[in-house]
Homo-oligomer: A and B are copies of this chain.
Amino acid sequence: MTQAAQQMFDRHRETLDQAVTAITNRSFWTPYPESMRTYPEDAVKAAPSKFESLLNQPFALHATGSTQQVGGEVSPYGFELGITYEQPNPQELIATMQGAIRDWRDAGTEVRVGVCLEILSRLNAISPEIAQAVMHTSGQGPMMAFQAGGPHAQDRGLEAVAYAWQAMAQIPATTKWVKPQGKHDPIAMDKRFHIVPRGISLVVACSTFPTWNTYPGLFASLATGNPVIIKPHPGAILPVAMTTRVAQQVLEEAGFDPCLVSLVPDTVDAPLTKALALDPAVKLIDFTGSNAFGDWLIKNATQAQVFAEKAGINTVIIDSVDNLKAITANLAFSLSLYSGQMCTTPQAIYVPRSGIETADGHVSFDDVAAALAKAVQAFLSDNDRACTVLGALQSRETQARIDECRGLGEIVLDSEPRAHTQFSNARIHTPLILKVDAEQKAAYSEERFGPISFVIATENTAHSIELARDVIREKGAITLGGYTTDEVVAEQFEELAMEVATPLSLNLDGGIFVNQSAAFSDFHATGGNPAANASLCNQAFVASRFVVVQSRRHSQSN
């Protein structure tokens, strides 16, 4: 342990204490402001040119073992990044990381947590640059790439550190155990307790939220003593490469082997994830991505604890509303934001086929669907705003899916391409909204990743709840929205939420959206349905990342 490392802890101690308070009372808190205006104007302005200066050349990291260069990222805004990254030999890297475990373990909780907090603090400072990298890999719009890729991702990382700190702090370093022996002298034992990491931690990052979905696992594992391999999605390497560089710099300054956080990029043609995931040294796996691969990991990487966030059928149930315009505006934002490429975007919207009651009287099913379509159209009528909100489609597969899905129902709102003023080849498409009957379950109960949603005609709200229960039990969900003016129905939604272990957002009609969750307060996913087996973040997310090894000996004195 170096003095530098201890100073990092001291510097961030107050932030840590506040974070622990926040995860306990779950009120609003963040040390990382989400408004770009609070960051230095120069840094914000310089970010695009800094990003451009990275293009078409190697991106250097501390790399271990023999390496080859891989790359091939293409911005969803229509240009090749041309960046290459060193790919370490996995076996050599794992051997080196195992050699670095002991120092990191023995550094102790304060030092490890201090290093994590310093990494987060420096990541926060380069949020404008991270935003550029996130934008041009994920396709997120600039504002979202800044917020979700920068401060909100850092929030989730800090949240994981706070949980890890809290869990490790429960274990005393030493204790004296004194057992009475009746008339005889008591037996006294001196005991020591050590926090021991599980082993190598593998974080498999995704292409849509390369930082937000990576930071919880990265920081939960690192804080608890495990070296972390980040395996980026081949289409979104840069944001995690920048993250790795910061982590390595801080580790080195603190006196540790920078390989404790290492990047192992691969390519679509020569993927490495399965081999890494099955390596006996890998004891922890964090994964965000498809159900198929997540399920494969859970079934096959049984030597590791797998934390998997997959996909589900996010659901909205509309029973009755006060102000239809306010709720359709709210939903229009959720359906449009990042072109529905969030793991939280609603896909299935259940509405009674007899229509709903509103403060302005009865509205038919068709009129509810039409109101939603109209709200999306209105919201996206300004093309600049549309491009900013929609962002670009991350992959060609998502673009193709829009065409594939058109025939699944009656089109309420067709998807259309949009032209970006700055990036003429950007892959931008507005939402497709389809109208289907409850019986067309095959259409709406499969995940249709991207800007595709279904307004589903049901017999009544009880039927909506029943369908949602069946679909979510089978396929999972990360979000559930409910709209009702009836408290009895609201309690039925609450019961449904518990039955299918999905968080409920009730009657959102303003500046809070079903697809957004707030760190330190909202648990993202519950881990209790097929969409995810873990929640970001909670105790269970950190508690199994370390073990406690004790020793005991007779006390030399009572």
Surface stretch bound by B, among A8-16, A141-149, A267-275, A518-526: A518-526
- Bound CA span A521–B198, Å: 22
**Interchain CB contact (< 8 A) of A509 among B167, B506, B554:** B554
- Bound CA span A552–B497, Å: 11
Give a binary string over A524-544; 1 marks a CB under 8 Å from any B CB, 0 the rest. Answer: 001110000001001110011
- Bound CA span A189–B507, Å: 11
Give the chain B neighbours of A493 by CB distance below 8 A: 551
Q: Does A381 contact B (CB under 8 A)?
A: no
Q: Which A residues from 291 to 313 make CB contacts under 8 A with B?
A: 298-299, 302
Give the chain B neighbours of A547 by CB distance below 8 A: 501, 526-528, 535
A51 to nearest B CB, angstroms?
28
**Interchain CB contact (< 8 A) of A25 among B175, B505, B528:** B175
Give a binary string over A120-159; 1 marks a CB under 8 Å from any B CB, 0 the rest. Answer: 0000000000000000000000000000000000000000
Q: Does A504 contact B (CB under 8 A)?
A: yes
Q: Does A107 contact B (CB under 8 A)?
A: no
Q: A187-B510, A528-B547 are in contact. Are A170 and B552 (CB under 8 A)?
A: no
Give the chain B neighbours of A509 by CB distance below 8 A: 554
Q: A298-B302, A512-B189, A540-B544 are in contact. Are A551 and B176 (CB under 8 A)?
A: no
A396 to nearest B CB, angstroms?
33
Give the chain B neighbours of A411 by CB distance below 8 A: none
**Interchain CB contact (< 8 A) of A175 among B176, B187, B189, B521:** B521
Q: A177-B28, A187-B511, A511-B181 are in contact. Are A498 and B553 (CB under 8 A)?
A: no
| B505 A552 Cβ-Cβ under 8 A | yes
| A194 B553 Cβ-Cβ under 8 A | no
Per assembly, the copies of the chain total 2
Q: Does A248 contact B (CB under 8 A)?
A: no
| A172 B25 Cβ-Cβ under 8 A | yes
**Interchain CB contact (< 8 A) of A24 among B170, B501, B506:** B170
Q: Does A105 contact B (CB under 8 A)?
A: yes
| A179 B28 Cβ-Cβ under 8 A | yes
- Bound CA span A36–B36, Å: 69
- Bound CA span A549–B105, Å: 34
Q: A187-B511, A526-B196 are in contact. Are A539 and B170 (CB under 8 A)?
A: yes
Q: Does A494 contact B (CB under 8 A)?
A: yes
Q: Does A27 contact B (CB under 8 A)?
A: yes
Give the chain B neighbours of A554 by CB distance below 8 A: 507-510, 512
| A552 B506 Cβ-Cβ under 8 A | yes
Q: Which A residues from 78 to 115 make CB contacts under 8 A with B?
A: 105
Q: Which positions in A face B, CB cutoff 8 Å?
A: 24-28, 105, 167, 170, 172, 175-181, 187, 189, 191-194, 196, 198, 298-299, 302, 493-494, 497-498, 501-512, 518, 521-523, 526-528, 535, 538-540, 543-544, 547-554
